[in-house]
Structure 1
Amino acid sequence: MWSVIWLLGTVSSVFGAAGNGVINFGGFMCPREEKALGGCLKDALNTYIPQLATGVPEFGVPPCEPLLVPSLSVQQSTGPISVTSSYSEVTVRGPSTMRVRDVKVDAKNQKVIAKIFIPELRMKGHYNLAGHLLMIPIEGEGKFSAKYGDINVNVTIVLGRLPRANGKDVLSCKQLDVKFQVGYASVELENLSDSDNDLGVAMNKYLNENWQKLADELQTPMEDALHDFLKPLADHAFATLDADDILLP
């Protein structure tokens, strides 16, 4: 996800170089024409993404391994299962394996749209769960591990203006939307109904056999968490740029 923030920090070059034939993007000389520019930005981002695990200091990008998600909560009530669960102190590894599949630049509408593929995200943390499985009470608290794989992410960034004291507007991240789809998922909850090991095994089996339902329940909380994580960084990156240098009056 840090590649998106790096992209945010260079959007000023994208929109501010309308009168130039090429744009210098991290050493890549990209054509100004929008379609060619999008392809060039994709190639440039993919060249540097492997460095994201340890950070890219020259672009102000800190390490992204692990990515921290403070908390998630899920309420699931489908078929034989009815549970409420929460997940805290979640660490996520795998963002640095992402590949940018496509970048579209829409200068007229002040948008950047990126399509990203992540092979796998591995999560660990603490869970708390209570509910029923086939009308049987089930609860648990402890460590959990999970994997999400074949993830397709769409990030849409809309630029805007923010007034400041000296009368000049700065660039702002007016809107940032994150949408993703998961190809497969698995989860393992430890100490689940530890007084009845068979019930814990059955619950873990059910969750993994019905991973799509769990992924659907987690999608909105995860998208919200990613938005809340990315938005302040985007605001900070854009607030250093004069809006008139980039946007039409």
Structure 2
Amino acid sequence: MKLLILFTVFCYSVTALELPSYITACSKSSPDFTNCAKESAKTAIPALVNGDTKYHIPKLNPLTIDEIIIESNGQLKIQLHKAKVYGLSDGKLTDIKLDEKNGVLDISLDIDNLNIQSDYEINGRILVLPISGKGPANITAVGGHYNVKVNFDLIEKKGVKYLKLKDTDVKFDVKRAYFRLENLFDGNKELSDQMNKVLDDSWKDVLKDIGPAIAKAVGAIVEQLAMGVFERVPYDKFFLP
């Protein structure tokens, strides 16, 4: 019974935290809500990218994602292992909208240079060409504008409301994307170089197949922040009445 009481107290203490000093609370009913959030993000993002153990937020530059799996219409399968995601430190919040009734938080971000480095496995067809291999991968998205829809529930603990993440949906546009997959075709350098040139020359079409990796990386970043802060700080301390 003593252990159960201690465990209950510990769980509650984990969630009932004050807003971090580097985040400014904004009034959700204020006409200046978006500008307030933008100003808050200017100081919050540089602090958050270094991680915060109190809120269980890991280091975000880079953020390590154990595995990203992409399957495209049964024609292509890509697996990224131990992916490291760089670039959030230069991210800028450009817009934010809160729909409390439907449980949606729309966040718009600009990230000038998002880079993913990982080990990969690929098999199938891309641009109707057969492709296979495993080795180091480097994916870079330049001039990216990302819209992240955060779907959430409001849950109550001891009379206090908390935002609980359900899922995220990411859509984005980029000015340019670069893909480099080493060791394609069992290490055949000539074929590997030719395929990488095709990937580079046709980056807009390639983005349709490999782009979901970028979306999942950005979604993972937002989810880490949401679970770290939103699920531990009472809702009304983050979004003022």
Q: Is contact 1:35-1:105 (8 Å) kept?
A: no
Q: Is contact 2:163-2:230 (8 Å) kept?
A: yes
Q: Pick one of 63, 68, 76 that aligns with 2:59.
A: 63
The change in CA–CA distance for 1:210 and 1:73 in structure 2 (over 3 A counts) is: farther
Q: Pick one of 112, 122, 147 that aligns with 1:119.
A: 112
Query: Partner letter of residue 181 of structure 1?
Result: F
Give the aligned partner of residue 177 of structure 1. 168
- What is the distance in 1 between the residues matched to 2:126 and 2:104? 46
Q: Does 1:212 align with 2:196?
A: no
Once the 2 structures are TM-superposed, how far is the Cα of residue 93 of structure 1 from its aligned partner? Answer: 0.9
Q: Is contact 1:66-1:93 (8 Å) kept?
A: yes
- What is the distance in 2 between the residues matched to 1:96 and 1:103? 18
Q: Is contact 1:54-1:65 (8 Å) kept?
A: yes
Q: Alpha-carbon deviations, 1:30-51, whole Å to 9, x = none?
A: 6675331221111121233233
Query: Partner letter of residue 72 of structure 1?
Result: I
Which residues in structure 2 correspond to 1:127-146 (within 5 Å)?
A: 127-131=120-124, 138-146=131-139
Query: Partner letter of residue 44 of structure 1?
Result: S
Query: Partner letter of residue 172 of structure 1?
Result: L
Query: Partner letter of residue 141 of structure 1?
Result: K
The change in CA–CA distance for 1:206 and 1:105 in structure 2 (over 3 A counts) is: same
- Answer with 132-141 or 89-98: which moved more: 132-141
Q: Is contact 1:120-1:149 (8 Å) kept?
A: yes
Q: Does 1:91 align with 2:84?
A: yes
- What is the distance in 2 between the residues matched to 1:159 and 1:116? 19
For structure 2, list consecutive stretches of 5 or more residues without a partner in the other structure.
1-14
Q: Does 1:157 align with 2:119?
A: no
Q: Alpha-carbon deviations, 1:128-178, whole Å to 9, x = none?
A: 2234689986532211212111111122334433355x6x46423254433
Q: Is contact 2:68-2:80 (8 Å) kept?
A: yes
- What is the distance in 1 between the residues matched to 2:127 and 2:52? 50
Q: Does 1:147 align with 2:143?
A: no
Q: Is contact 2:151-2:167 (8 Å) kept?
A: yes
Give the aligned partner of residue 50 of structure 2. 54
Q: Is contact 1:157-1:173 (8 Å) kept?
A: no
Q: Alpha-carbon deviations, 1:183-227, whole Å to 9, x = none?
A: 121111112225632211111111112222332223445545654
- What is the distance in 1 between the residues matched to 2:57 and 2:237? 23
Give the aligned partner of residue 234 of structure 1. 226
Q: Is contact 1:144-1:188 (8 Å) kept?
A: yes
Aligned-pair Cα RMSD in Å: 4.0
Q: Does 1:104 align with 2:97?
A: yes
Q: Is contact 2:55-2:228 (8 Å) kept?
A: no
- What is the distance in 2 between the residues matched to 1:102 and 1:134? 35
The change in CA–CA distance for 1:171 and 1:135 in structure 2 (over 3 A counts) is: closer
- What is the distance in 1 between the residues matched to 2:184 and 2:128? 16
Query: Partner letter of residue 125 of structure 1?
Result: S
The change in CA–CA distance for 1:75 and 1:239 in structure 2 (over 3 A counts) is: closer
Q: Is contact 1:146-1:185 (8 Å) kept?
A: yes
Give the aligned partner of residue 74 of structure 1. 70
Report the TM-score when normalising by structure 1.
Answer: 0.68
Secondary structure of the residue aligned to 1:34 is: coil
- What is the distance in 2 between the residues matched to 1:154 and 1:42? 15
Q: Is contact 2:161-2:234 (8 Å) kept?
A: yes
Secondary structure of the residue aligned to 2:185 is: coil
Give the aligned partner of residue 180 of structure 2. 188
For structure 1, list consecutive stretches of 5 or more residues without a partner in the other structure.
1-8, 14-24
- What is the distance in 2 between the residues matched to 1:28 and 1:246? 8
* Matched-pair identity in %: 21
